[in-house]
Chain A
Amino acid sequence: MLEIKNLHASIAEDDTSILKGLDLVIQPGEVHAIMGPNGSGKSTLSKILAGDQQYQVTDGEILFNGESILDDDATERSLKGLFLAFQYPVEIPGVNNAQFLRMAYNAKLKYNGEEEVDPIEFDDFLNEKLALVDMNESFKDRALNFGFSGGEKKRNEILQLAVLEPKLAILDETDSGLDVDALRDVSAAVNKLRSEGRSFLLITHYQRLLDYIVPDVVHAMVGGEIVKSGDKELAKELDKQGYDWVANV
């Protein structure tokens, strides 16, 4: 599904290097988790995967379903089935949430050669998805993320995930800032979306999330590299011992 080889990347503006030779392979249907200290480059990795042009890849390769996506812009990567739930979703006043979701959904249908849906058809579909993430229908009329609470923004990301049904979903700290109930709802939604053909990359600081969404592989990321990988026990170990333990091996 995803194959990252020796990825080096820096901030385009000033060449500050952030990712320093990162390798990661995710097979179809697998759930991977990345844990790592603040500033280790987790969000940078996720945004580079999504196609953020403020970063530039200086070396290495990213293959998605066997093909390089380095030349694809964010739109194409999304249409190919890659999804990022942002750590800090932006607020866009003036853009209606439901209209935006329909645009995104139709863009995907069109890309797949399917017929676009009209607002009425989409509304039914959207209501189902709202129920899945336990969001009130009033969120349809709101402006995109505008004035949403931290937890509501995170739920809105999962709503988009549910609408777009990507092949690979990267969840950048979706669990941060969620209350216990929300964490359970969001996890349940993700578990429901787990399937043979769909992979997940969870970025988190909390082992607790991994009790709800059980990962196949856990990685420790320090200083722009993956320094250790293991099964879900690694997450518990990291929780107990901190990152100095892996950074020094």
Chain B
Amino acid sequence: MIGLPMSKEDMEMDFLGEHSAYGGTLTIIDSESKNPYILEFQKQAFEAFKTEGGFPTSKNEDWKNVDIDSLLETPFKKAVTSLPADLNSDIDIFVGQLSQSARIVLVNGVMDDILSDISLLPTDVRFNRFSNLNDEDSRLLEGVMDSGSAPRNPFERINSFQFQDGVFGVVPDGVVCERSLHIVSIVASKTPVVAYPNLVIKIGEGASLSVVVTHVSLCSGIPSLDNANWLFDISKSGRLDYLNLKATRRSSNVIDTMQVSIAEQGEFNGAYVVSGGNINRNEVRVSLNGEEATSNMVGVGICPDSNKLYTNTTVDLNSPNTDSQQFFKSILGPNSVNEYSGLVYVAPNAQKVNSDQLNRNLMLDDSSRAISRPQLKIYADDVTCTHGSTTGQLEGEELLYLMSRGIERNEATALLISGFAEEIADHIKNDRLKYYAEENIRSALMNLQMPA
């Protein structure tokens, strides 16, 4: 069917599929298997999407640099879970690498009960599809979803009304998980598709969990979009260590939105390692809701060639004596873009809080671009908030130092670049996650073209 170029409205409708966009009514897939709470949540998200502007436009500061048009121009359809045999065997091979690990496997946005296995975690830990929850967990889920903020950004809203079946994980009070949990979001298709994973995890009082999230596209050359929503609720003195790995192919896109709420003395340690991919947008909104809650986020984006990375963090320091650290770096090869937006909000009563934010970009090529948008909104007076950003090329002084010790120029350059990236791993507290991050950083660096 070759016809006239589609209008923007047509492309938007096409992207949304059965929801016939702004004018339409919402038809929810599998609505009979969904509980009324989830149905209502999805309807509200759809209404919000319709009434609050739909897709992002160039007027939206948080999205204006993201090339939404290129996504809309791609004939994406919502991904399905029944797949041809060859794709299923690709998935099996991939998941086979995790046979010794506790894992939750999402295929095209939906948890696969057969591929997932968390028997290595303490027995009280449970992960189930929304459609598979008992009454108690349903109520628990509703409580968590109620305490989170309503979906705010356009793609978060789209996920909220498009997702087919979410996943709810519970680490009960006092349960400490020694092993890491791997969550793999696989997008597999032979035509351009969007997957909509939606995950909610509740960390109980004094409980702890470490999670490695990997985004994988098994679409060999076909464009894919992983549009995921995450909601983490960390109870009093709970701890979540989180590592997000996106080492994706040229044709794959990931748009992630994560909400984290942390009660008193709770701790969130988030790390993000992104390399390659077409568009990668990562939005994290952290609320520190109790005294002595802490959030520590670090990230590094490695862009070998023509990759577009957007990291958007919002940290709300809502309680006294809370602490947050944001440290994001990027290494930019030819034609790559990195944008870091970091908003720190300190509530009026939140005295004695501390927040440090730093964004550093290393440009390996003149054709790359780094955008840094720090924002501070401080309504308390006894606070320490710092932020800084640097963008530049490799330091001549550092290169001289290494070379003056007999290290060849190329080797010294490589050492400086890897040192720049690996500093991020040095900030990861959990040893397992640190190890995974280092591995991924190292292999991502191998794809970089060294500057002359």
Residues of A within 8 A of B (CB): 47, 50-54, 73-75, 77-79, 83-84, 86, 89-90, 92-95, 100, 103-104, 107-108, 111, 143-144, 160, 164
Contact = CB atoms under 8 A, between A and B. Distances in A.
Contacts of A77: 404
Contacts, number: 82
B62 interface: no
Interface of B: 395-398, 400-409, 411-412, 415-416, 418-424, 426
Contact of A75 (B398, B408, B418): B408
B407 A86 contact: no
A75 B426 contact: no
B407 A90 contact: no
B426 A93 contact: yes
Contact of B400 (A51, A79, A144, A164): A51
B406 A94 contact: no
Contacts of A73: 403, 409
A80 B264 CA distance: 60
12 contacts: A74-B404, A75-B407, A75-B408, A78-B403, A78-B404, A94-B423, A94-B424, A95-B422, A100-B402, A103-B411, A104-B406, A108-B406
A95 B405 CA distance: 14
B400 A47 contact: yes
Contacts of A83: 404
A77 to B, nearest CB: 8
A121 B428 CA distance: 29
B416 A92 contact: yes
A50 B407 CA distance: 13
A50 B397 CA distance: 12
A104 B405 CA distance: 6
Contacts of A51: 400, 403-404
Nearest to A88: B397
Given A95-B415, A100-B415, A75 B401 contact: no
A94 B404 contact: no
A107 B406 CA distance: 6
Nearest to A166: B406
B426 A86 contact: no
A134 B315 CA distance: 44
A119 to B, nearest CB: 16
B88 to A, nearest CB: 41
B51 to A, nearest CB: 47
Nearest to A106: B406
Contacts of B401: 86, 89-90, 92
B398 A92 contact: yes
Contacts of B418: 94-95
Given A75-B406, A75-B407, A84-B404, A94 B398 contact: no
Contacts of A54: 396
A166 to B, nearest CB: 9
Contacts of A78: 403-406
A83 to B, nearest CB: 8
Contacts of B397: 90
A95 B422 CA distance: 8
Contacts of B423: 93-94, 143
- The 8 A-B pairs at the shortest CB distance, nearest first, are namely A94-B419, A94-B423, A95-B419, A74-B403, A104-B405, A78-B406, A107-B406, A93-B423
Given A73-B409, A75-B406, A83-B404, 7 more contacts: A52-B400, A53-B396, A75-B412, A90-B398, A90-B401, A92-B398, A92-B402
B403 A75 contact: yes
A92 B394 CA distance: 11
A107 B400 contact: no
B396 A94 contact: no
Contacts of B409: 73, 75
B408 A94 contact: no
B408 A74 contact: no
A31 B409 CA distance: 30
A74 B398 CA distance: 12
A108 B408 CA distance: 11
A74 B404 CA distance: 5
Contacts of A75: 403-404, 406-409, 412
B419 A74 contact: no
Contacts of A74: 400, 403-404
B406 A50 contact: no
Contacts of A107: 405-408, 411
A2 B423 CA distance: 39
A157 to B, nearest CB: 10
Listed residue (B396, B400, B404, B420) with the most chain A CB atoms within 10 angstroms of its CB: B404
A202 B419 CA distance: 31
A132 to B, nearest CB: 18
Nearest to A145: B401
Contacts of A160: 405
A35 to B, nearest CB: 23
B406 A111 contact: yes
A117 to B, nearest CB: 14
A94 B420 contact: yes
Contacts of B405: 78, 100, 103-104, 107, 160, 164
Listed residue (A75, A79, A108) with the most chain B CB atoms within 10 angstroms of its CB: A75
A66 to B, nearest CB: 21
Given A78-B405, A103-B415, A107-B407, A94 B422 contact: yes
B386 to A, nearest CB: 17
A137 B404 CA distance: 24
A110 to B, nearest CB: 9
Contacts of B398: 90, 92
Contacts of A89: 401
Contacts of A47: 400
Contacts of A93: 419-420, 423, 426
A143 B421 CA distance: 13
A215 B412 CA distance: 34
